Amino acid sequence: MNLSPLILSLQTAGIATLIVFIIGILLARLISRQSFPGKSIVESVILLPMVLPPTVVGFGLLYLFGNNGPIGSLLMEWFGIQTVFSWLGAVIAAIVVSFPLMYQSATAAFQTYDPMVEKAAYTLGASKWKVFFKVSFPLAWPGLLAGTVLTFARALGEFGATLMIAGYIPGKTDTIPLAIYFAVESGRMDDARLWVIIIVALGFSSILWLNWWSKKNVFYFQGNNK
């Protein structure tokens, strides 16, 4: 059995989740407690990939990162990096479609606790970074973890945008969703069934673990508060 779709999917989803985790948390922290003109527009743009058809997202990525696109041409000219029909294209697609989930979860997480806790830390002389890592991040961690798990699951299951920008190249861009689609197209139903079972098991395990962890920590906090 060729395991390249499984390995490629886990690598793509893992890298995309790491990048989205860092950028999503920083951006959510920066925007969530700020009020400025056009904030609603900025957040609408960030969340837009969540409501657009994947093919539309893929078309936008193809336009931006294509060899003649504004970003793709610069990457090719300056660094010799081609994003279209490459593994990097699959990572970019996974990042874009999963980013709204992380941003939304992080924004909600940073709004669940009283901001006066942070202000108290500032008055004690703590720096912004120290307050973030010692106060904000731990308080928001349950919501951030939920967003991370959902981000990974969404990146793992990405299909439409990946097909548009990365294509289907066996051993190079054949993630599990693409492997399922083209296995069905070529009549290899046993292969398609096997990959369906694998990706369902991965998604189910992720959500099951998240639910278990959430309940465990709810009981832990309730026990400490008695």
How many other C-beta atoms lie within 10 A of the C-beta of residue 61? 27
CA 66 to chain CA mean position, Å: 22
Domain residue ranges in the chain: 4-176
> What confidence category does residue 1 fall into, taking pLDDT thresholds of 50, 70 and 90?
low
Asked whether the beta carbons of 12 and 177 are under 8 A apart, the reply is no
Q: What pLDDT was estimated at residue 118?
A: 85
Q: What pLDDT was estimated at residue 212?
A: 84
Query: For residue 214, is pLDDT > 80?
Result: no
First-to-last alpha carbon distance for the chain, in angstroms, is 54
> What confidence category does residue 150 fall into, taking pLDDT thresholds of 50, 70 and 90?
very high
> What share of the chain has pLDDT > 90, as a percent?
58
Q: What pLDDT was estimated at residue 21?
A: 96
- pLDDT, tens digit, for every residue of 24-52? 999 998 887 778 888 889 999 999 999 99
How many other C-beta atoms lie within 10 A of the C-beta of residue 103? 24
d(CA 145, CA 149): 6
DSSP letter for 48, please: G
Top-confidence residue, 159 or 128: 159
For residues 182-193, average pLDDT: 93
Q: What pLDDT was estimated at residue 155?
A: 94
Q: What pLDDT was estimated at residue 67?
A: 86
| Nearest Cα to Cα of residue 144 among 210, 92, 224 | 210
Q: What pLDDT was estimated at residue 218?
A: 53
Amino acid at 206: S
Query: For residue 176, is pLDDT > 90?
Result: yes
Distance of CA 190 to CAs 1, 13, 63, 197, Å?
12, 25, 36, 11
d(CA 56, CA 160): 9
Tell me which CATH code domain 4-176 carries.
1.10.3720.10
- pLDDT, tens digit, for every residue of 66-123? 888 899 999 988 988 889 999 999 999 999 999 999 999 999 999 888 888 888 888 8
pTM score, two decimals?
A: 0.89
Q: What pLDDT was estimated at residue 223?
A: 47
